[in-house]
């Protein structure tokens, strides 16, 4: 395993080095032309101004715009090249087109019930606005008659998954950002191998960057011999591939169209505290039973078909969705799954978080491993606090990335001065990503409060309304709060040195580009 890890890390280094060398070579060649033909300087400045005006006119976050505008104006040639490579719409034209076609075909297969929206419009306009937005903009319907169980620890969630995996009769779909070929996965692999022998369609999809250092080609070959289909999303290659920045950060397990699991945890030992280098690893998840599982099936197939396009041509989607007709009559509330796609210019997840803050009346409780937010989010959280809402945020006490941790803490000051209370999870690293408000609405999923999750990654989550699981989420937050240290006062009037202020300002300025 150690040898595989070294090979995977070596491949990552080669891929990253190859990518940056190609970018550097392009910049070098352009500057060389610039030295021979001085007129290129004037042309570059003109083009940079045109691009800056174009960026300014786009309907996107100002925190994303400003760093690019500064880069283009200060370093025109470098800025133009990097903009074309990373932001220019044409660079991902065919990839975007492929995903649009797949999403268009799959989302039309989901059955929506407009009666839910009509009733919500009368009973709860705030929740209606959220569900309408997700349904009409995100393409995922809302559901009633679904059971939801919340797991305050990842090990509880994975044990429940094993129980449900053993019941599989038709198909098992698993999609994760990171899979580690170690204790936690091997136990699942035994079940998957057994199910594959029984004729169950077993598929695993993982992100290459997220799993690098954990697994590689030999892992896929081993699973294939056991009848388990395994695909890798967006392989790390030493090529000039802009799409490499868009990672699959989703965490989904779907079983027979009956049961779905999602949350913050991947399938690696640290998530279950088998081997955690950052103190206690706190993560959460949910199990969903009922018709809402269809949406998670579609999310998985969207990514699977993007890689295995022939499957889309030969398979009948109806074999996987709308096959489970059971409704749980005693189940309360509404379940609304959703997915974030960075190739579509709609910040669905960010707007869901903002809408929860806007509609909060009594309290808003947030768990997030990273807190790299823009002015809009900062303003909404502060506005909620100033109108009397109890806004509390829990972040890690022990970081997994010290650089990002420093950036996270740089956002505390403005929030606490606006009335937001901030806590750090003393026992270790908190990896849960969830919002809960007013005992009525909660969002649980894979989406961090940072630019990569909100703008660059493929993500997923589920919005819950009016159900018992929300009480469990609140109870877990309160218990986690008791194990955390409040740092509000510390950052209210913090005496930062001038170098520290400058460093944090620079970090925050370039955070959207990282």
Boundaries of every domain in the chain: 10-87, 93-126+141-333, 348-513
Q: What is the mean pLDDT of residues 268-274?
A: 95
For residue 8, pLDDT over 60 is answered with no
Residue 78: band (very low, low, confident or very high) from pLDDT cuts 50, 70, 90: confident
- Looking at residue 113, its pLDDT comes to 80
Lowest mean pLDDT among 242-246, 295-299, 402-406, 495-499: 495-499
> Does residue 388 come out as left (phi exceeding 0), alpha (psi in the -120 to 50 range) or beta?
left
Beta strands in 342-440 (DSSP E): 363-367, 390-396, 421-425, 428-430, 434-437
Give the DSSP letter of residue 245.
G
- Looking at residue 2, its pLDDT comes to 44
CB-based burial, 2-39: b 16+ in 10 Å, e otherwise: eebbeebeebeeebeebbeeebeebbeeeeeebeeeee
pTM score: 0.88
CATH class of the 348-513 domain in this structure = alpha beta
Contact partners, residue 112, CB within 8 Å, separation at least 6: 135, 141, 142
Q: What is the mean pLDDT of residues 54-58?
A: 78
For residue 332, pLDDT over 70 is answered with yes
- Looking at residue 494, its pLDDT comes to 60
* CA 514 vs CA 72, 81, 134, 256: distances in Å: 17, 17, 28, 39
For residue 189, pLDDT over 90 is answered with yes
Q: What is the mean pLDDT of residues 464-491?
A: 94
Lowest mean pLDDT among 78-82, 148-152, 275-279: 78-82
Q: What is the mean pLDDT of residues 117-143?
A: 91
For residue 254, pLDDT over 60 is answered with yes
- Looking at residue 64, its pLDDT comes to 76
- Looking at residue 4, its pLDDT comes to 47
Instruction: Please report where in the chains the tokens 């999809």 appear, as a residue.
Output: 205
Contact partners, residue 57, CB within 8 Å, separation at least 6: none
Contact partners, residue 366, CB within 8 Å, separation at least 6: 391, 392, 393, 394, 434, 435, 436, 449
The SS3 assignment for 421 reads strand
Residue 3: band (very low, low, confident or very high) from pLDDT cuts 50, 70, 90: very low
- Looking at residue 36, its pLDDT comes to 58
Do 93-126+141-333 and 348-513 agree at the fold level? yes
Q: Rounded distance, CA 107 to CA 302, Å?
A: 9
Residue 18: band (very low, low, confident or very high) from pLDDT cuts 50, 70, 90: low
Q: 167-181, pLDDT tens digit by residue?
A: 999 999 999 999 999
- Looking at residue 276, its pLDDT comes to 82
Please state, rounded to an integer, the average pLDDT across all residues of the chain. 87
- Looking at residue 214, its pLDDT comes to 81
Contact partners, residue 505, CB within 8 Å, separation at least 6: none
Residue 21: band (very low, low, confident or very high) from pLDDT cuts 50, 70, 90: low
| pLDDT higher at 450 or 316 | 450
CATH of 93-126+141-333, one of 3.40.640.10, 3.40.50.300, 3.40.1010.10, 3.30.870.10: 3.30.870.10
Lowest mean pLDDT among 281-290, 353-362, 395-404: 395-404
- Looking at residue 493, its pLDDT comes to 64
Q: Strands 259-263 and 363-367, how do they pair?
A: unpaired
Q: 449-463, pLDDT tens digit by residue?
A: 998 899 889 999 999
- Looking at residue 34, its pLDDT comes to 58
Q: 148-168, pLDDT tens digit by residue?
A: 999 999 999 999 999 999 999
- Looking at residue 324, its pLDDT comes to 75
Percent of the chain past pLDDT 70, that is, above it, reads: 87
């Amino acid at each position: 395993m150690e040898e595989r890890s070294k090979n995977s890390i070596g491949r990552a280094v080669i891929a990253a080095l190859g990518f940056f060398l190609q970018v550097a070579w392009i910049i070098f060649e352009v500057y060389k032309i610039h030295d021979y033909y001085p007129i290129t300087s004037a042309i570059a400045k003109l083009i940079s101004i045109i691009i800056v005006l174009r960026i300014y006119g786009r309907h996107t976050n100002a925190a994303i715009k400003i760093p690019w505008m500064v880069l283009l104006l200060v370093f025109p040639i470098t800025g133009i090249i990097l903009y074309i490579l990373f932001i220019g719409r044409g660079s991902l034209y065919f990839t975007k087109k492929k995903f649009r076609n797949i999403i268009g075909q799959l989302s039309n297969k989901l059955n929506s019930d407009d009666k839910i929206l009509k009733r919500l419009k009368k009973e709860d306009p705030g929740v209606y606005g959220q569900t309408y937005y997700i349904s009409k903009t995100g393409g995922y319907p809302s559901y009633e008659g679904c059971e939801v169980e919340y797991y305050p620890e990842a090990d509880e969630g994975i044990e429940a998954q094993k129980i449900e995996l053993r019941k599989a009769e038709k198909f098992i779909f698993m999609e994760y950002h990171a899979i580690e070929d170690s204790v936690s996965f091997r136990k699942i692999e035994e079940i998957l191998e057994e199910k594959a022998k029984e004729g169950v369609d077993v598929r695993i999809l993982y992100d290459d960057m997220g799993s690098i250092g954990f697994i590689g080609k030999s892992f896929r070959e081993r699973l294939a011999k056991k009848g388990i289909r395994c695909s890798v999303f967006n392989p790390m290659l030493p090529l000039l591939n802009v799409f490499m920045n868009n990672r699959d950060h989703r965490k989904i397990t779907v079983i027979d169209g009956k049961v779905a699991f999602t949350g913050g945890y991947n399938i690696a030992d640290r998530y279950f505290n088998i081997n955690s280098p950052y103190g206690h690893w706190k993560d959460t998840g949910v199990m969903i039973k009922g018709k809402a599982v269809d949406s998670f099936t579609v999310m998985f197939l969207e990514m699977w078909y993007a890689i295995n396009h022939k499957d889309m041509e030969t398979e009948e989607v109806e074999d996987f969705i709308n096959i489970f007709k059971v409704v749980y009559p005693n189940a309360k509330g509404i379940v609304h799954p959703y997915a974030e796609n960075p190739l579509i210019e709609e910040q669905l997840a960010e707007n869901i978080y903002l809408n929860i803050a806007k509609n909060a009346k009594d309290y808003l409780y947030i768990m997030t491993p990273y807190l790299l937010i823009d002015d809009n989010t900062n303003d909404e959280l502060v506005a909620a606090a100033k109108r009397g809402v109890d806004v509390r945020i829990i972040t890690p006490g022990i970081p997994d990335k010290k650089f990002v941790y420093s950036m996270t803490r740089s956002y505390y000051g403005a929030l606490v001065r606006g009335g937001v209370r901030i806590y750090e999870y003393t026992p270790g690293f908190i990896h849960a990503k969830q919002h809960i408000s007013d005992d009525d609405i909660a969002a649980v999923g894979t989406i961090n409060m940072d630019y990569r999750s909100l703008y660059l990654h493929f993500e997923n989550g589920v919005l819950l309304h009016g159900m018992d699981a929300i009480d469990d989420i609140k109870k877990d937050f309160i218990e986690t709060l008791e194990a955390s240290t409040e740092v509000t006062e510390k950052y209210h009037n913090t005496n930062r040195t001038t170098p520290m202020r400058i460093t944090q300002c620079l970090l925050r300025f370039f955070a959207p580009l990282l």
